[in-house]
């Protein structure tokens, strides 16, 4: 039997609040998704003005970050044409996201969940995901 650490809904709300604050700060309304360490959705918020197409993208970025235990942008280089993971972007029915904006939530060295952001540029999405992560980690 294994013992697993998983973020709870209170943790998810802190992650969302931190991301929302950062999104307001940079002036880009975002879709914000939080998954648990198994990739299942825990909480989601589409800020007023967040993009409809970004609903699934935010959820899948979070799924990828928690399930693969790394930031989605880390797949960026590895999945370029000619690189070893080229083609991975369409895996799992397209759920495997290689675009920036998904970060694993790591506590004491363990992945306990993920955060996925979409509606801005990938750089903005990463910034907002990091904002959520920073706020959450500061609260521990």
Specify the residue for token string 């979070």: 62
Options 21, 122, 134, 137; binder of a copy of itself; rule CB under 8 A: 122
Token pair 């060295």: residue? 109
Identify the residue among 36, 62, 103, 104 touching a copy of itself (CB under 8 A): 36
Residue 17 found at the interface with a copy of itself (CB under 8 A): no
Q: Per rule CB under 8 A, is residue 25 in the interface with a copy of itself?
A: no
The DSSP letter of residue 89 is G
Q: Cα dihedral angle (55, 70, 110, 127), rounded to 10 degrees?
A: -60
Report the nearest approach of a copy of itself to the CB of residue 128 (Å): 15
Per-residue contact flags (x/-) with a copy of itself for residues 57 to 76, judged by CB under 8 A: x--x--xx-xxxx-----xx
- In angstroms, the CA 70 to CA 76 distance is 12
Task: Determine, following the binding rule CB under 8 A, whether residue 15 of this chain makes contact with a copy of itself.
Answer: no
Q: Using the rule CB under 8 A, is 26 a contact of a copy of itself? A: no
Q: How far is the CB of 72 from a copy of itself (least distance, A)?
A: 9
Determine phi and psi for 89, rounding to 5 degrees: -60, -25
CA dist 66 → 27, 51, 83, 116, 136 (Å): 27, 23, 23, 9, 16
Let me know the angle formed at the C-alpha of 53 by 79 and 125, rounded to the nearest 5 degrees: 60
- Interface residue with a copy of itself among 19, 23, 42, 129 (CB under 8 A) is 42
Binding site for a copy of itself (CB under 8 A): 1-9, 11-12, 36, 38-48, 51-57, 60, 63-64, 66-69, 75-76, 79-82, 84-100, 107, 112, 121-123
């Amino acid at each position: 039997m294994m013992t697993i650490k998983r973020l709870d809904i209170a943790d998810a709300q802190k992650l969302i609040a931190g991301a929302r604050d950062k999104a307001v700060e940079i002036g880009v309304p975002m879709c914000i998704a939080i998954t648990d360490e198994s990739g299942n959705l825990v909480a989601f918020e589409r800020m007023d003005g967040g993009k409809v197409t970004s609903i699934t993208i935010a959820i899948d970025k979070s799924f990828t970050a928690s399930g693969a235990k790394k930031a989605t942008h880390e797949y960026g280089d590895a999945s370029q044409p000619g690189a070893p993971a080229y083609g991975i972007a369409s895996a799992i029915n397209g759920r495997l996201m290689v675009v920036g904006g998904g970060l694993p939530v790591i506590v004491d060295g363990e992945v306990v969940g993920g955060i996925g952001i979409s509606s801005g540029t990938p750089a903005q999405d990463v910034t907002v995901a990091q904002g959520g992560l920073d706020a959450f980690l500061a609260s521990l």
